[in-house]
């Protein structure tokens, strides 16, 4: 008898074995007492105690199967069994079969993990109990919206929580986060020093159009990625990556790290469908929008992740492809795990899909499980989250879908926070839901609400699993004021400061350890400093007023704070130009302005609204960004500015005129050792840092 014949016989015999009641999935879970884990989340229940129990049961069952089968086959097959066990692929197959019988849900063979059931994020997002609940929920929303469109009625929630009512709910444990001081640091490869993408959170990488690994510059256009060798003071094209995609597909952003290039594209699939069967006579009657009933062209939007090995940049090799329904929202990379966020319309699908097929998004052509879907009170759009281990870049680690109206995303080293402003509440509320993402697995931590809205990307920040939030709120007369709220690891309010800078709004913020700095503006630019070392009692330390305001703050070492924004006339509020300001924060109770520089008549910079456009690196002593200048004939010209901080003042190192033919929003300043590069998707220029920034080379990207 061959090994394969033996394995087939073992499998057939195993199928006939009646599993003892004690080893049923229900009793296994009872033995593990999953309910106690849910009720006591602070214990940071991992997988290892559970893993040992499951593994022991698996071994027991496997031995039971073998003993039963061995009584039914010839004794001469013993050597064949040993041979089969030595065959790694077939042995793994047997073990997979045994583990599947034990219903370890989404556990992976590599990690041997048992995934805890998804928890509710308070009452804000609740886990679906079945697909039918999801379909019923979406159908009810569609029906309600239909009544709204046809009658013009204003929808109101049944019960509105009062402003200032904080909701803190069920939480799950997670390890403490690293302290995020949001300081840009140079990457180092032995003695090789080069700049990296400016990030919101230190340790959480972000995608961009232009990246470098210190030896090559990678530039992504809509259709290809160009690889340029920058060694030997020359710009030499060495390779191109063009994904195997359709004509309508578009490259969005890339990551480069540890010999891998991750390429994110927007993919479209178009098909023709017979839509006549999907509309009832009532559908056609209630709206005049359905004027063309019959065949319709349907375009499906998907986000693709291609992973390439670029250890030999001249010959990149594709190592994995990952596909997720929905339009690309954002992504983050922490260590070897990539987190991918897409938006998928599911609410409108109810109207156009016959039955239930096709409503729930898919990842790698597999429908998201209902137990991974979060419902909200009125959410009609789907935010799809997935995690991918880059060691196996075609496989899913975990995924969830969250039905919402609209959310912004903040990602820390171990947690994801979704937040949105509910304007239906008195004076508006910011609703926040936290999700842990330990080892790439998602689960809810809890939810909370705070008055006001978050106006700046850097106004929300997490440290040691505690959340800090700056909001701007409005009274009944629309008078602005600002607030600081501190939440603990369970998302419960611990302390706050309210009614700060009445009549002004927050323009920029930054957190440094136990101190928060933020700027408000109306006629002057107050820099506020708050001590948050005691979460129950934050204290205002200082308020420094200067003209203009900073749209972006960046720590410059440990005792200075760089501000980039606008100078304004304090009497007329007229914008006078772009402004750089350096603050001395060595004594947080007495911040001082060390120096300011105004670029007169430069009225805009993409750096003020996209922090990735800024080069701000204290270790290299470089500050770079694009400025837009208004000419007398109201046309615009663009210049790239590069400054250093020397002897307590800004020193201009470069003012380079830029062509109108390049996309200034994707232009990046990069340094590698003693060479400075200005790179766009259309061209790369290199300059000698040691020779007064004289130009070395110029490459037009074709």
220 and 87 within one domain: no
Please check whether residue 617 lies inside any domain of the structure.
Answer: no
Please check whether residue 90 lies inside any domain of the structure.
Answer: yes
Tell me which of 359, 388, 410 is where a domain ends. 410
> Higher confidence at residue 675 or residue 65?
675
272 and 393 within one domain: yes
For the CA atoms of 135, 136, 138, 140, the dihedral, rounded to the nearest 10 degrees, stands at 160
Q: Please give the backbone phi and psi of residue 136, each rounded to the nearest 5 degrees, phi first.
A: -60, -40
Please check whether residue 121 lies inside any domain of the structure.
Answer: no
Per-residue pLDDT band at 32 (split at 50, 70, 90): very low
Tell me which of 410, 445, 471 is where a domain ends. 410
Please check whether residue 640 lies inside any domain of the structure.
Answer: no
| Distance between CA atoms of residues 389 and 78, nearest Å | 39
Spell out the residues 6+ positions from residue 49 whose beta carbon is closer than 8 angstroms to its own.
none
| Distance between CA atoms of residues 278 and 466, nearest Å | 49
Q: Which of 490, 486, 494, 496 is nearest to 121 (CA)?
A: 490
Per-chain mean pLDDT for the chain:
79
Mean pLDDT score, 18-28: 49
Please check whether residue 535 lies inside any domain of the structure.
Answer: no
User: Would you tell me the crossing angle of helices 78-86 and 48-70 to the nearest 10 degrees?
Assistant: 150
**pLDDT tens digits for range 48-79:** 334 434 444 444 444 444 444 444 444 443 33
| Distance between CA atoms of residues 298 and 175, nearest Å | 45
Please check whether residue 449 lies inside any domain of the structure.
Answer: no
226 and 360 within one domain: yes
343 and 228 within one domain: yes
**pLDDT tens digits for range 551-602:** 999 999 999 999 999 999 988 889 999 999 999 999 999 999 999 999 999 9
406 and 284 within one domain: yes
Three-state SS for 162? coil
| Whether the predicted model's global pTM rises above the 0.75 cut | yes
**pLDDT tens digits for range 589-635:** 999 999 999 999 999 999 999 999 999 999 999 999 999 998 988 89
Query: Quick one: pLDDT at residue 377?
Result: 84
258 and 400 within one domain: yes
DSSP state of 121: B
337 and 208 within one domain: yes
Please check whether residue 674 lies inside any domain of the structure.
Answer: no
Confidence check: pLDDT of 261 > 70: yes
Confidence check: pLDDT of 27 > 70: no
Tell me which of 410, 432, 447 is where a domain ends. 410
Q: Which residue has the tokens 């009125």?
A: 378
Rounded percentage of the chain residues whose pLDDT exceeds 70: 71
**pLDDT tens digits for range 494-549:** 999 999 999 999 999 999 999 999 999 986 778 999 999 999 999 999 999 989 99
344 and 224 within one domain: yes
**pLDDT tens digits for range 443-492:** 999 999 999 999 999 999 999 889 999 999 998 888 999 999 999 999 99
| Dihedral sign, Cα of residue 202, residue 206, residue 211, residue 216 | positive
Spell out the residues 6+ positions from residue 382 whose beta carbon is closer than 8 angstroms to its own.
326, 343, 344, 345, 346, 347, 361, 401, 402, 403, 404
- Structural domain for 81, as ranges: 3-101
Three-state SS for 311? coil
- Could you give the number of structural domains in the chain? 2
Count other C-beta atoms under 10 Å from residue 145's C-beta: 17
345 and 229 within one domain: yes
Please check whether residue 95 lies inside any domain of the structure.
Answer: yes
Q: Which of 178, 204, 202 is nearest to 465 (CA)?
A: 178
| Distance between CA atoms of residues 449 and 456, nearest Å | 17
209 and 65 within one domain: no
Concatenated DSSP letters of 267-283: EEEEEEEE-GGG--HHH
Query: Quick one: pLDDT at residue 275?
Result: 54
DSSP state of 611: G
Confidence check: pLDDT of 26 > 70: no
> Which residues, in sequence order, are bridge partners of residue 325?
302
Q: In terms of C-beta density within 10 A (0-12 exposed, 13-18 middle, 19 or more buried), how is residue 306 classed? A: buried
């Amino acid at each position: 008898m061959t090994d394969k014949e033996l394995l087939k016989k073992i499998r057939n015999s195993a199928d006939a074995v009646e599993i003892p009641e004690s080893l049923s999935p229900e009793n296994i879970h009872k033995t593990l007492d999953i309910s106690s884990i849910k009720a006591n989340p602070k214990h940071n229940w991992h997988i290892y105690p559970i893993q040992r129990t499951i593994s022991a049961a698996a071994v027991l069952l496997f031995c039971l199967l073998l003993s039963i089968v061995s009584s039914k086959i010839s004794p001469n097959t013993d050597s064949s069994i040993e041979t089969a066990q030595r065959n790694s692929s077939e042995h793994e197959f047997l073990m997979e079969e045994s583990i599947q019988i034990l219903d370890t849900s989404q556990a992976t063979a590599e990690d041997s993990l048992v995934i805890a059931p998804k928890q509710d994020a308070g009452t804000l997002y609740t886990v679906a109990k079945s697909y039918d609940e999801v379909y019923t929920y979406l159908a009810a929303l569609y029906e309600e919206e239909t009544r709204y469109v046809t009658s013009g009625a204003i929808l109101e929630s049944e019960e509105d929580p009062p402003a200032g009512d904080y909701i803190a709910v069920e939480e799950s444990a997670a390890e403490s986060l690293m302290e995020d001081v949001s300081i840009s640091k140079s990457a180092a490869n032995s003695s090789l020093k080069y700049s990296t993408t400016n990030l919101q959170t230190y340790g959480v990488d972000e995608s961009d159009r232009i990246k470098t690994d210190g030896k090559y510059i990678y530039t992504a256009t809509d259709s290809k990625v160009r690889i340029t060798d920058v060694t030997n003071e020359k710009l030499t094209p060495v390779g191109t990556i063009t994904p195997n995609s359709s004509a309508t597909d578009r490259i969005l952003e890339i990551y480069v790290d540890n010999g891998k290039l991750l390429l994110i594209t927007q993919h479209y699939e178009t098909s023709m469908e017979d839509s006549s069967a999907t509309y009832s006579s009532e559908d056609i009657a209630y709206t005049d929008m359905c004027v063309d009933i019959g065949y319709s062209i349907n375009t499906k939007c998907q986000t693709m992740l291609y992973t390439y090995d670029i250890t030999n940049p001249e010959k990149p090799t594709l190592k994995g492809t990952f596909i997720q329904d929905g339009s690309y929202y954002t992504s983050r990379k922490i260590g070897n795990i990539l987190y991918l966020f897409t938006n998928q319309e599911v609410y409108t699908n109810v109207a156009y899909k016959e039955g239930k097929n096709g409503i729930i998004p898919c990842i790698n052509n597999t429908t998201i499980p209902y137990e991974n879907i979060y419902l909200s009170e009125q959410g009609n759009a789907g935010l799809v989250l997935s995690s991918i281990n880059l060691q196996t870049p075609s496989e899913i680690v975990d995924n969830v879908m969250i039905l919402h109206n609209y959310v912004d995303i903040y990602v820390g080293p171990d947690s994801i926070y979704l937040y949105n402003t509910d304007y239906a509440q008195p004076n508006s509320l910011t609703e926040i839901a936290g999700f842990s993402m330990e080892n790439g697995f998602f689960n809810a931590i809890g939810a909370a609400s705070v008055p006001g809205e978050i106006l700046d990307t850097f106004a929300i920040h997490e440290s040691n699993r505690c959340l800090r939030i700056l909001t701007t709120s409005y009274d009944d007369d629309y008078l602005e004021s600002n607030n600081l709220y501190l939440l603990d690891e369970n998302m419960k309010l611990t302390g706050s400061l309210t009614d700060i800078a009445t009549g002004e709004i927050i323009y920029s913020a930054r957190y440094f350890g136990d101190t928060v700095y933020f700027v408000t503006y109306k006629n002057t630019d107050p820099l506020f400093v708050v001590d948050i070392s005691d979460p129950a009692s934050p204290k205002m330390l200082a308020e420094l007023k200067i003209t203009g305001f900073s749209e972006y703050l960046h720590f410059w070492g440990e005792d200075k704070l760089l501000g980039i924004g606008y100078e304004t006339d304090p009497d007329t509020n007229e914008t006078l130009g772009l402004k750089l300001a350096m603050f001395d924060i060595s004594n947080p109770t007495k911040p001082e302005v060390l120096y300011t520089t105004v670029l007169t008549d430069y009225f805009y910079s993409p750096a003020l609204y996209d922090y990735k456009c800024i080069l701000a690196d204290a270790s290299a002593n470089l500050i770079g960004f694009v400025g837009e200048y208004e000419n007398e004939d109201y046309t615009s010209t663009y210049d790239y500015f590069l400054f250093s901080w020397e002897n307590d003042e800004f020193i201009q190192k470069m003012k380079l005129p830029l062509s109108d033919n390049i996309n200034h929003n994707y232009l990046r300043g990069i340094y590698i050792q003693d060479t400075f590069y200005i790179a766009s998707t259309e061209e790369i220029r290199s300059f000698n840092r040691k020779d007064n920034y004289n130009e070395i080379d110029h490459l037009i990207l074709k």
